[in-house]
Amino acid sequence: MLVLGFHALGAFAQPAQSARSAPSAAECLHADALASFRQARFPEVYGRFIALADAGHAPAAELALWMYLHGPLVFGKEWDGAQEQLTAWAMLAGQPAPTMVAHIYPRTVSSVASLTR
């Protein structure tokens, strides 16, 4: 906004002071992550959210936790995360901390090429 009028000498045109301060770097990065989410770039989004969440950004922690918990159902994949991260994100988001569950995969036998000639 440009304010014109009779001002002190040398100050004929000055930008008006914004009532709201500029967004922080974390807010800008969070907005970028949300834009990527809308474009369905989910692995990129998860990476951005976890970086912000690990830095203490509560809104990103809430969304990273949601993506982690709903990964297989919503995104068709499991997202990586450590128990310490999940606990920290849950605290930031004001939610109970989820507990990681170990997956046991059945042992499969595969044929091994013979080493004899």
pLDDT for 106 equals 79
Q: Tell whether pTM > 0.75.
A: no
71: Cβ contacts below 8 Å, ≥ 6 apart: 77, 78, 79
CB 54 within 8 A of CB 88: yes
**Three-state SS for 2?**
strand
**If we measure between CA atoms, which residue out of 103, 40, 104, 97 comes closest to residue 74?**
40
- For residue 63, being part of any structural domain is answered with yes
- For residue 104, being part of any structural domain is answered with no
Query: How many domains in the chain?
Result: 1
- For residue 15, being part of any structural domain is answered with no
- For residue 86, being part of any structural domain is answered with yes
Q: pLDDT tens-digit profile of 37-63?
A: 999 999 999 999 999 999 999 999 999
* Parent domain of 82: 23-93
- For residue 77, being part of any structural domain is answered with yes
pLDDT for 108 equals 78
- For residue 108, being part of any structural domain is answered with no
**If we measure between CA atoms, which residue out of 84, 96, 88, 97 comes closest to residue 52?**
88
- For residue 69, being part of any structural domain is answered with yes
Position 11 pLDDT exceeds 50: no
pLDDT for 102 equals 72
